């Protein structure tokens, strides 16, 4: 299927969700660019700054799985819209915080809204497009995430330098309200009103999914460490706070967008050749990224650092489309949001929640360069475990026998009709 074959409604689904993902990650990552200003205003250590990321991540983790299950059982469109409005309000409230504790609570509330969106949004994307372009459309969905994250870092540093950190939260909280209303235009895609729901116990009996969880633990630890402490690292290379945010944002946008597109294209290409071909892209990207990031840590020239770190971001971002697509390849449609919600629960709660604290503590005791050796090691371990995912797929195939009855038992007519609506021309 080519881009020219997409219907008007398919394009609308993709564009709306890309925009939502953009705002999602602006709101999520803008706080990292504000660390220097928050440290000055509230007198915080790096460890305390790390707890802002941890509070958000813990709430996101705990809410992702139940909200993913909810999206599979009622209206994904309603869950998405409500989540967007909730996190936008919490972001605006962050700018009103009069103390570090209040800000901590506000960032936690942002996590609830974003937990409602991500599993349901990815499930809507998968339901709207055929399997042969699954990694590419998920990659396009994730491009909004990369641009949004980079924009949050860039915009946050600039706005804070000009108008103060509070105004940065106010400015990025407002657009979410408009997108929350626009998301009501998404087609309904309730796919899990079948006779029997897929249980978590069955899902955890799939070896490939278990290996994917372990790999995700290490890879998410690495990726989130770079995101949280990237602005601080750039300042150590001689950039001012505003310059650091802009330089890192542009580096992530260029490297990340090219990486997502490359990884998604190669993934869909290899998926035509082998059942495990889609998954093969993930460990390759993480292995290739490791030396680029290592040498970036020790680069003495600003331009050398940005080029090497951008190259690392390029290879790291290969996994985005293939990872979600692999999960959805392994799981029957009725369980897509549930499986992705549990994945986010696991990696966010047990990996991303501790990454800012571990790196922050090591940076306080030693220095940031020393601390950032840990995520390099973590991403290589994660790559090794994703090779196990490939071996499991080679042994059992994409449709493991444990879930066979869920593949064979189609969802009810209501659900089938709802998904079919996506493919009608405007």
Region 74-101: what's the mean pLDDT? Answer: 84
Contacts of 208 (CB under 8 A, 6+ apart): 330, 389, 392, 393, 396, 400
Instruction: Encode pLDDT of 280-295 as tens digits.
Output: 888 999 999 999 999 9
**Rounded average pLDDT over 215-243:** 82
The Cα–Cα gap between 260 and 257 comes to 5
Distance CA 143, CA 22 (A): 8
Quote the pLDDT of residue 197.
Answer: 61
Residue-number span of the structural domain to which 171 is assigned: 3-423
For residue 354, give both structure tokens. Answer: 């501790």
Instruction: List the single range of 207-216, 240-249, 390-399 with lowest mean pLDDT.
Output: 240-249
Q: For 359-382, how does the pLDDT look when each residue is reduced to its tens digit (9 = 90+)?
A: 988 988 888 899 999 999 999 999
Residue 194 has pLDDT above 70, yes or no: no
Confidence of residue 138 (pLDDT cuts 50, 70, 90): low
Mean pLDDT of 297-314: 88
Q: Is 75 left (phi over 0), alpha (psi -120 to 50) or beta?
A: beta
Percentage, residues of the chain above pLDDT 90: 13
CB atoms within 10 A of CB 295: 16
The residues near 329 (Cβ < 8 Å, ≥ 6 apart) are 131, 134, 278, 398
Question: How would residue 257 be classed by pLDDT, with cut points 50, 70 and 90?
Answer: confident
CB–CB of 357/51 below 8 Å?
A: yes
pTM above 0.75, yes or no: no
Taking a C-beta distance cutoff of 8 angstroms, is the pair 105, 171 a contact? no
* pLDDT higher than 60, residue 95: yes
By the 8 A CB rule, do 340 and 61 touch? no
Which two structure tokens, joined as six digits, stand for 1? 């299927």
- pLDDT in the model for residue 78: 78
Q: Nearest to residue 68, comparing CAs of 348, 320, 386?
A: 348
**The pLDDT of residue 357 is above 60:** yes
pLDDT for residue 413: 39
Whichever domain contains 198, its CATH number is 1.20.1250.20
CA nearest neighbour of 409 among 130, 191, 194, 201:
194
Structural tokens at position 62: 């705990």
Based on the number of CB atoms within 10 Å of its own CB, is 375 exposed (0-12), middle (13-18) or buried (19 or more)? Answer: buried
Region for residue 399 given its phi and psi (left: phi exceeds 0; alpha: psi -120 to 50; beta: otherwise): beta
Asked if residue 47 has pLDDT above 70, the reply is yes
**What single-letter DSSP state applies at residue 282?**
H
At 408 the pLDDT is 64
Q: With bands split at pLDDT 50, 70 and 90, how would you rate the model's confidence at 272? A: confident
Q: Which two tokens stand for residue 107?
A: 């960032």
Predicted pLDDT at 426: 38
- Digit-coded pLDDT (tens) for 161-190: 888 889 888 888 788 778 777 777 776 654
Poorest-pLDDT segment among 84-88, 120-124, 164-168: 120-124
- The count of other CB atoms within 10 Å of the CB of residue 102 is 13
- Closest listed residue to residue 284, CA positions, set 253, 255, 319: 319
How far does CA 101 lie from the centroid of its chain? 26
The confidence score (pLDDT) of residue 256 equals 77
pLDDT at 3 exceeding the cut of 70: no
Q: In Å, what is the CA distance from 29 to each residue of 78, 262, 391? A: 25, 24, 35
Q: For residue 349, give Cα distances in angstroms to 85, 325, 355.
A: 23, 22, 10
Query: Considering its fold, how many domains does the chain have in total?
Result: 1
**Which pLDDT value is given to residue 387?**
94
Taking each helix axis as running N to C, give the angle between helix 373-396 and helix 207-236, from 0 to 180 degrees, rounded to the nearest 10. Answer: 160
Average pLDDT estimate for 293-311: 89
Mean pLDDT for the chain overall:
79
| pLDDT of residue 60 exceeding 90 | no
In angstroms, the Cα distances linking 255 to 190, 220, 249, 262 are 35, 18, 10, 10
From the CB of residue 151, how many other CB atoms can be counted at a distance below 10 Å? 20
């Amino acid at each position: 299927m080519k881009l020219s074959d997409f219907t008007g409604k398919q394009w609308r689904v993709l564009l709306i969700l890309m925009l939502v993902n953009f705002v999602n990650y602006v709101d999520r990552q803008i706080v990292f660019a504000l660390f220097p200003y928050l440290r000055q205003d509230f007198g915080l250590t790096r460890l305390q700054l790390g707890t802002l990321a941890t509070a958000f991540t813990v709430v996101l983790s705990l809410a992702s799985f139940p909200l993913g299950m909810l999206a599979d059982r009622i209206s994904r469109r309603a869950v998405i819209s409500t989540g967007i409005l909730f996190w936008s309000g919490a972001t605006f409230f962050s700018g009103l915080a009069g103390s570090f504790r209040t800000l901590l609570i506000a960032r936690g509330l942002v996590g609830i809204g974003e937990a409602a969106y991500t599993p349901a949004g990815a499930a809507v994307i998968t339901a709207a497009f055929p399997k042969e372009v699954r990694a590419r459309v998920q990659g396009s969905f994730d491009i909004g995430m990369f641009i949004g994250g980079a924009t949050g870092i860039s915009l946050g540093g600039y706005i804070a330098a000009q108008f103060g950190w509070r105004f940065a939260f106010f400015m990025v909280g407002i657009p979410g309200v408009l997108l929350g209303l626009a998301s009501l235009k998404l087609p309904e895609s309730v796919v899990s009103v079948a006779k029997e729901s897929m249980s978590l116990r069955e899902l955890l009996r799939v070896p490939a999914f278990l290996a994917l969880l372990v790999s995700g633990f290490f890879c998410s630890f690495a990726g989130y460490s770079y995101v949280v402490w990237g602005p601080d690292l750039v300042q150590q290379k001689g950039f001012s706070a505003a310059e650091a945010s802009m330089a890192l944002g542009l580096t992530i946008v260029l490297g990340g967008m090219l990486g997502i597109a490359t990884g998604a294209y190669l993934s869909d290409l290899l998926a035509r050749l082998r059942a495990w071909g889609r998954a093969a892209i993930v460990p390759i990207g993480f292995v290739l990224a490791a030396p680029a990031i290592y040498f970036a840590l020790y680069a003495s020239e600003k331009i050398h650092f940005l080029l090497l770190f951008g190259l690392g971001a390029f290879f790291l971002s290969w996994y985005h489309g293939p990872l979600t697509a692999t999960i959805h390849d392994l799981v029957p449609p009725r369980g897509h949001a549930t499986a992705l919600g549990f994945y986010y629960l696991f990696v966010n709660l047990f990996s991303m929640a501790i990454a800012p604290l571990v790196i922050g503590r090591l940076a306080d005791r030693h220095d940031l360069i020393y601390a950032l050796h840990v995520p390099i090691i973590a991403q290589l371990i994660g790559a090794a475990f994703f090779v196990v995912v490939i071996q499991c797929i080679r042994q059992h195939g994409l449709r493991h026998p444990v879930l066979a009855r869920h593949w064979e038992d189609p969802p009810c007519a209501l659900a089938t009709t709802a998904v079919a609506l996506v493919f009608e021309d405007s």
